[in-house]
């Protein structure tokens, strides 16, 4: 008996899982990854480590799943996994577990937590990061160590005392640098440093003593061992006084035995994610030009391990690199990058080779690859989202054969109607082609000339230098729910979007709203030309820069019946000095607010708010430090003082990532309110 499928709903959010941090075992037989599920009762998430055999046999859960377990890292011999868990410490500590199972054993108890474990080539040492203040570093250098509590009562008391002391340290809070907050919390005086821990050969009887090998008022990046085990690669902030969220980092080589680090890079670029070639002859890293941080995109570059001239590896591709790994034979790298709505994995050889000039697409198709890893034989494990499902794990053998290793949402999706996401390229007013997509309600018939007319829901991405496509995981569910609710759904990649080259990405510099709004409006016109959309029932929504664009469109056109603007930027002058990313305005408009006040105001939706007539719902997080709450408060006050139809919804405890990683109840509420606002003002009951 066939069970009828039902449309996707907001409630399905609680049953949709996703994957993170894929790692292939040294022998290539297993793929470790993190599976994230919603814990509805706790209104949060669980992260558990799974192992999927690369031959396609069913995956198995490897860690308990009742904790936050993440960052699995294989030992060089493949017999153990190191990982970070919050099971005994909410700050996270490193644990070890045997490949064949058993109890996880705690390896670190660093006072401020530990993350980013990295095995030494001989498997005897783990490197990690831990934040520490200057005072704490001085105590470490003096050999002062905390006496372990003698009983559970003393441990609880020590924990309470520490919590009290931490609270008092920031009362009052003294601010001397920018940025001083991000995410949903304030920064303190602690900086991330690299520690080494000797790994016991057997069971952990007593926790080994970590030793710090870096120093100074600098943030260090995740460590990577050189193949000879004598040193590690990391990054460090170039200038602690730079007042920059887009901090400029240099690559350093740090002796494992301790001693002064060796700088491998210099000013002109910001560098991150250094990785040595397997043969130890070269070092590759990502870099961004300091004078074109957002326009040019991320490139992979290489340098001889002994130092010397840096060679750009991917600049000629005009691709913005997201992740990279070395080829196992050190002949080049594999990297992922977005292009025309999809994210693929490419292979490219070293400079001077034919494969450097041409490259090769190793993983293609209509999907967005979010992460990948490479095995010693060249096989690739990767996580990808596609039009028919938001997230799964795949394996491409060294010979090129691909198999799907997971179907994490199959049980739910087999009971739901998943509508196709149809490509619709169209022309902008200046003749440029823009890439857009549309979803149609279940049962929609394209060639029904006399069929009903539908309301249209326009979704606009943030960034602004982001790329959406049919496999974009964090929006896939929301688009499907809107289509299931009876809307034709439209989204596109207007000018400023990633995935179409540097010129397209940089086209909105100094021209926010002016350069990209016509691309969006042209897509709406292309859909209207089909005769199936009611032009009086068009809704628009977006988050972050998409919130900016929603308010901009409402203030500069009369095309929309209503709008929902989420966590949007509405006043470019105030946004600059209240955001943790104040440089965004400086970079995008080539100057400072005191130099460009008139220009920034003209490009602010707030300057056009008096022309907004469509009902507007503002959704914003109270702990959003990327786009502070004051942005929504200003727009709400402007509209309310004019007695326009406007509502402001404030989400407590949430930051800028509400719709992606916020409390599940808030994410569900966000979707419900958006659709309810659309229904109210697009007169959904009149459809058909």
Q: What is the pLDDT of residues 287-314, one digit of tens each?
A: 999 888 777 899 999 999 998 999 999 9
- Alpha carbons within 13 angstroms on the beta-carbon side of residue 135 total 3
Q: Is residue 519 part of a domain?
A: yes
Q: How far is Cα 517 from Cα 511, in angstroms, rounded to an integer?
A: 10
Q: What is the rounded average pLDDT of the residues 214-228?
A: 96
CA–CA separation, 485 and 9 (whole Å): 8
Give the DSSP letter of residue 15.
Answer: G
Strands (E), 189-306: 191-198, 211-212, 224-225, 231-237, 249-255, 262-263, 269-276, 282-289, 299-304
Q: Summarize the confidence of residues 23-30 as an average pLDDT.
A: 98
Residue of 326, 150, 160, 312 whose CA lies nearest to 233: 326
d(CA 298, CA 311): 14
**Of 659, 648, 568, nearest to 615 (Cα)?**
648
The confidence band for 685, taking pLDDT boundaries of 50, 70 and 90, is very low
- Tens digit of each residue's pLDDT (9 = 90 or more) over 418-461: 999 999 999 999 999 999 999 999 999 887 777 889 999 999 99
pLDDT digits (tens, 9 = 90+) for 520-576: 999 999 999 999 999 999 999 999 999 999 999 999 999 999 999 999 999 999 999
Of 127, 156, 189, the residue at which a domain comes to its end is 189
223 domain-assigned: no
Distance between first and last Cα of the chain: 32
Write out the residue range of the structural domain in which residue 606 sits: 418-686
What single DSSP character describes residue 498? S
Which CATH number belongs to the domain containing residue 563 in this structure? 3.40.50.1820
Report CA-CA distances (Å) from 111 to 93, 135, 162, 222. Answer: 9, 13, 10, 18
Decide if 305 is inside a domain. Answer: no
In a domain, 226, yes or no: no
Backbone angles phi, psi at 390, to 5 degrees: -80, -15
Residues in the chain: 688
Average pLDDT over residues 74-93: 94
- Report the DSSP beta bridge partners of residue 489: 439, 457
Structure-token pair, residue 511: 């021209």
- The residue among 127, 160, 189 that closes a domain is 189
Give whole-number Cα distances, 626 to 179, 395, 535, 568, 688, in Å.
Answer: 10, 36, 35, 10, 42
The answer to whether residue 154 sits within a structural domain is yes
pLDDT of residue 688: 38
CA 419-342-235 angle, 5° bins: 135
Domain assignment present for residue 139? The answer is no
Beta strands in 440-483 (DSSP E): 454-460
* 604 lies in some domain: yes
Mean per-residue pLDDT of the chain: 93
Last residue of a domain, one of 156, 189, 222: 189
- Is residue 589 situated within a structural domain? yes
- Residue 361, phi-psi category: left (phi > 0), alpha (psi -120 to 50), beta (remainder): beta
What's the number of domains the chain is made of? 2
């Amino acid at each position: 008996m066939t069970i009828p499928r039902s449309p996707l709903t907001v409630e399905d959010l609680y049953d949709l899982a996703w994957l993170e941090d894929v790692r292939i075992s040294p022998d290539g037989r297993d793929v470790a990854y993190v599976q994230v599920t919603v814990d509805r009762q706790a209104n949060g998430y669980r992260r558990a480590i799974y192992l999927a055999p690369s031959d396609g046999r069913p995956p198995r859960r490897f860690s308990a799943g009742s904790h936050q377990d993440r960052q699995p890292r294989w030992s060089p011999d493949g017999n153990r996994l190191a990982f970070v868990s919050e099971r005994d410490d909410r700050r996270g500590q490193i644990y070890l577990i045997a490949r064949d199972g058993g109890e996880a054993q705690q390896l670190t108890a660093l006072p401020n937590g530990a993350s980013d474990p990295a095995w030494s080539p001989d498997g005897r040492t783990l490197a990690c990061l831990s934040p520490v203040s200057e005072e704490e570093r001085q105590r470490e250098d003096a050999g002062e160590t905390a006496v372990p509590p003698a009983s559970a009562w003393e441990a609880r008391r020590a924990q309470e005392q520490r919590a009290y002391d931490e609270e008092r340290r920031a009362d009052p809070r003294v601010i001397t640098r920018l940025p001083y907050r991000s995410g949903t919390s304030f920064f303190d005086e602690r900086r991330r440093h690299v520690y080494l821990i000797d790994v016991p050969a057997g069971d952990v009887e007593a926790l080994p003593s970590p030793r710090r090998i870096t120093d100074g008022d600098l943030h260090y990046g995740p460590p990577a061992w050189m193949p000879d085990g004598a040193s590690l690669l990391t990054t460090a902030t170039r200038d602690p006084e730079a007042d920059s969220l887009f901090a400029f980092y240099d690559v350093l080589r740090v002796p494992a035995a301790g001693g002064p680090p060796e700088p491998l890079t210099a000013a002109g670029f910001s560098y991150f994610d250094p990785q040595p070639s397997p043969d130890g002859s070269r070092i590759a890293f990502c870099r961004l030009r300091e004078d074109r941080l957002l326009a040019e995109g991320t490139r992979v570059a290489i340098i001889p391990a002994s130092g010397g001239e840096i060679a750009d590896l991917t600049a000629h591709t005009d691709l913005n690199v997201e992740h990279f790994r070395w080829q196992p034979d050190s002949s080049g790298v594999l990297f992922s990058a977005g292009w025309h709505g999809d994210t693929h994995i490419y292979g490219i050889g070293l400079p001077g080779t034919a494969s450097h000039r041409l490259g090769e697409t190793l993983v293609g198709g209509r999907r967005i690859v979010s992460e990948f890893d490479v095995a010693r034989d060249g096989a690739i494990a990767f996580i990808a989202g596609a039009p028919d499902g938001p997230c799964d794990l795949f394996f491409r053998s060294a010979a090129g054969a691909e198999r799907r290793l997971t179907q994490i949402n199959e049980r739910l999706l087999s009971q739901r109607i998943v509508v196709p996401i149809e490509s619709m390229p169209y022309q902008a007013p200046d003749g440029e082609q823009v890439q857009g997509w549309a979803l149609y309600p279940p049962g929609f018939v394209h060639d029904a000339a006399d069929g009903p007319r539908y309301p249209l829901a326009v979704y606009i991405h943030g960034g602004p230098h982001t790329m959406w496509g049919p496999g974009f995981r964090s929006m896939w569910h929301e688009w499907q729910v809107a289509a299931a609710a009876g809307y034709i759904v439209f989204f596109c990649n207007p000018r400023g979007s990633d995935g179409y080259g540097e010129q397209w990405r940089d086209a909105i510099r100094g021209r926010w709203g002016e350069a990209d709004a016509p691309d969006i409006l042209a897509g709406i016109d292309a859909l209207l030309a089909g005769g199936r959309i009611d032009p009086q029932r068009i809704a628009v929504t977006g988050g972050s820069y998409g919130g900016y664009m929603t308010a901009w469109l409402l203030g500069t056109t009369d095309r929309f019946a209503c709008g929902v603007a989420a966590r949007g930027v509405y006043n470019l002058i105030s946004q600059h000095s209240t955001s943790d990313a104040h440089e965004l305005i400086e970079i995008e408009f080539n100057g400072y607010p005191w130099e460009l006040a008139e220009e920034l105001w003209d490009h602010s939706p707030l300057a056009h708010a008096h022309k907004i007539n469509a009902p507007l719902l503002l959704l914003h997080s109270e702990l959003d430090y990327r786009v502070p709450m004051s942005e929504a408060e200003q727009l709400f006050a402007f509209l309310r003082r004019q007695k326009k139809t406007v509502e402001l919804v404030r989400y407590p405890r949430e930051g800028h990532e509400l719709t992606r990683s916020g409390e599940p109840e808030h994410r569900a509420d966000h979707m419900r309110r958006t659709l309810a606002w659309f229904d109210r003002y697009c007169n959904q009951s009149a459809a058909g």
